[in-house]
Amino acid sequence: MDMIDRRLLDEYQHDLPLDPRPFAAIGRQLGIAEDEVIARLDRLRQHGTVSRVGAVVRPNVAGASTLAAMAVPPEWLERVAALVTDYPEVNHNYQREHRLNLWFVVACVDRAGIDMVLADISRRTGLQVLDLPMLEDFHIDLGFGLQWT
């Protein structure tokens, strides 16, 4: 990882340029071409350093979303997680060490869409899906200054 990769990771956790071509704007700020910015981010993603690049929109402002959880028998976990991941409305899922061991976020155009996805997951797995809609939002800034050694 060179200095440009480090700057990409550190300086663009917030305030991605509001520009029709944000990667070109980043490239201008870093002194590299737009296609190099995209290639570097893709390489960082492939290596697991970056999981995604994109806007974070406050929940339920543009469409609707909910957190969901399931109690999945351990021997079914990988299969059920793969099924859940295949829904385009699910943006991520993760395992937790708890009776409710599979958690995921569903985002749709409206609440009816969420209800349909959750019902379909329940029907296809034969397991109950616990719907945990947000009651109150808290802003948690997940960006942090990186320390390079």
pLDDT tens-digit series, residues 16-74: 888 999 999 999 999 999 999 999 999 998 888 887 777 666 666 678 899 999 999 99
- Convert the pLDDT of each residue in 77-127 to its tens digit: 999 999 999 999 998 889 999 999 999 999 999 999 999 999 999 999 999
The one-letter code for the residue type at 65 is: S
- 144 within some domain: no
Q: Strand runs (DSSP E) across the chain, as ranges?
A: 64-70, 90-95, 102-108, 129-132
Residue 47 CA: distances (Å) to CA of 17, 32, 35, 146: 24, 21, 18, 18
For residues 80 and 122, membership in a common domain is answered with yes
Q: How many domains in the chain? A: 2
Confidence at residue 16, expressed as pLDDT on a 0 to 100 scale = 82
Parent domain of 9: 3-46
Q: Are residues 14 and 69 in the same domain?
A: no
